[in-house]
Amino acid sequence: MPVKLRKPRARLKDLARLVSVSPATISNAYHHPERLSATLRAKILESADKLGYHPDPTARGLRMQTTGTLGVVYADALSWAFIDPPFSMFLQGVAEATQDAHFRLLLAGATYTDHDVEPVRNAAVDGFVFYAPMMHDPRVAYVEQRELAAVLVDGEPGSAFPLVGIEDESGAFALADHLFRLGHRKLGIISMPLRPGYPIGFAEPDEGLAAFLAVRDRLAGYAAAARKHRLPWQEVASLYVTSVNSIEQGRQAAHAILSGPSAPTALVCLSDQLALGALAAARELRVPVPQALSIVGYDDIPEAARTTPSLTTVHQPHAEKGRAAARLLLDQLAGRKSTSLLLPTRLVVRGSSAAPMNAARTGRKSMSGRSSRG
Full set of structural domains in the chain with CATH: 12-55 (1.10.260.40), 69-166+319-344 (3.40.50.2300), 168-315+347-359 (3.40.50.2300)
Residue 45 has pLDDT above 80, yes or no: yes
Residues 291-297: what's their mean pLDDT? 98
Is residue 285 scored above 70 in pLDDT? yes
Please say if the pLDDT value at position 8 is more than 70. no
CA separation (Å) from 323 to 41, 89, 94?
36, 10, 5
Mean pLDDT of all residues in 331-343: 93
The answer, yes or no, to whether residue 51 has pLDDT greater than 70, is yes
CA distance 30 to 42: 11
Mean pLDDT is lowest, of 41-50, 219-228, 296-305, 336-345, for 41-50
pTM confidence score: 0.80
The tens digit of pLDDT for each residue in 266-276 reads: 999 999 999 99
Taking the alpha carbons of 180, 182, 188, 194 in that order, is the dihedral positive or negative? negative
Question: What value does the mean pLDDT of the chain take?
Answer: 88
3-state DSSP helix/strand/coil % of the chain, to nearest 5:
45, 15, 40
Identify the pLDDT of residue 13. 87
Note the pLDDT of residue 372.
33
Ranges 60-64, 236-240, 335-339, most confident: 236-240
More confident position, 2 or 176: 176
pLDDT digits (tens, 9 = 90+) for 65-118: 578 899 999 988 888 888 899 999 999 999 999 988 889 999 988 765 545 777
* DSSP string over 336-371: -----EEE--EEE--TT----HHHHHHHHHHHHHHH
Q: What is the pLDDT of residues 126-173, one digit of tens each?
A: 999 999 998 888 889 889 888 899 999 999 887 889 999 999 999 999
Report the alpha-carbon distance of residue 99 to residue 97 in Å, rounded: 6
More confident residue, 138 or 327: 327
